Structure 1
Amino acid sequence: MRLPSSAAGWTIAVFGALALLLGAVGLIRPETTLELLGFEVLRPAERAVGDHTRTFVIASSMASFNMGVYYLLAAWQDWRPFFGFTVVFRLVTFTVFTVLVLTDAAPARFFGVALWEGLGAVATGAALWYDRHRNGNQPVTATGAGG
């Protein structure tokens, strides 16, 4: 595998590596994920019958782990259409997670996730702009400027 060849590719690679790492943490120790997000962590004996919080965190962590792999593969292939796609959907994620905090459906610390998504979207969007203008306003493809 090769390193990303564009600024946008690097933003995707960093996000992918962190998603993979945090997904692995949640798979191994879901309580750590809950603590990082500001949720109360209960001992198994304290959980109500039918409380599947731990199961849900593990499932979400598996999704994060998989997403990390997808992002890393996209970065290594310099798959620019994917980069642009992530900007839009990370901004949607920022909005949804911010609303969860503002409506008290999630603890205030959960806004860190929203901020991470929003800043990641802006960083990738700015990097896409930079890459395009660095190459004389030609689209940058996997084979280089201008395709």
Structure 2
Amino acid sequence: MSATRWTLTALGVLGGAIGVLGVVAPDRSLDAAGFEPVADRAPGDHTLTILRSSSLAALSEGGLYVLGATLGWRLFPAQAVAHRLLLAADMVGQVVTGRGPRSLLRGAAWEGVGAAAIGAAVWFDRRR
């Protein structure tokens, strides 16, 4: 299997595992992401609901990475890199503009490193 497929599979499995954590234990997921714990949520605070939904999206995205790698979708690596860079830029933008906490930079780093890993794997495969 190519380096690109291995990288996509590894990132898909990791992303899926993070998604499962958010569905099963949303408070632990928030803690792992660097958000401050909140003992009692105010009425109308839907943080955990939104986290569960985004965690299901992460689980789904992880599945798509594995499927894309397994089936060898030719354009999937480029789409994955573009998507991850967009997410990283959005997270950094939220922190810079004061709309998001500094802990979002962890997510931006995860997305940026993932994009770089996929890009490096594609580069490696093309040189072989």
Interval containing the TM-score (normalised by the shorter chain)? over 0.9
Contact 1:16 1:72 in 2 (8 A): yes
- Compute the displacement of 1:110 (Å): 1.9
- Aligned counterparts of 1:58 and 1:95: Cα–Cα separation in 2: 23
1:56 to 50, 59, 70: 50
Distance 2:123 2:112 in 1: 17
1:22 aligns with 2:18: yes
Assess if the C-alpha contact under 8 Å between 1:38 and 1:107 holds in 2.
no
The equivalent of 1:39 in structure 2 is: 35
- For 1:16, the aligned partner's letter is G
Deviation at 1:89, TM superposition (A): 1.3
4+ long deviations beyond 4 Å:
none
Query: Partners of 2:35 and 2:29 in 1: how far apart?
Result: 9
**Identity of aligned pairs, percent?**
39
Partner Cα distance (1:41, 1:53) in 2: 12
1:91 aligns with 2:73: no
Aligned length: 128
CA distance in 2, matches of 1:90, 1:37: 17
- 1:1-147 mapped onto 2 (5 Å cutoff): 5-43=1-39, 46-134=40-128
Residue type of the alignment partner of 1:74:
G
Secondary structure of 1:42's counterpart equals coil
- TM-score of the superposition, structure 2-length normalised? 0.92
- Alpha-carbon separation, structure 2, partners of 1:37 and 1:100: 15
C-alpha displacement at 1:33, in angstroms? 1.2
CA drift at 1:25:
0.6
Q: Render the CA deviation track for 1:46-69: whole Å, top value 9, x for unaligned.
A: 221111001000001111111111
Gaps of 5+ in 1: 135-147
Q: Which runs of 5+ in 2 are unaligned?
A: none
Quote the RMSD (CA, aligned, Å): 1.2
Deviation at 1:40, TM superposition (A): 2.2
Asked which structure has the greater CA Rg, the reply is 1
For 1:67, the aligned partner's letter is E
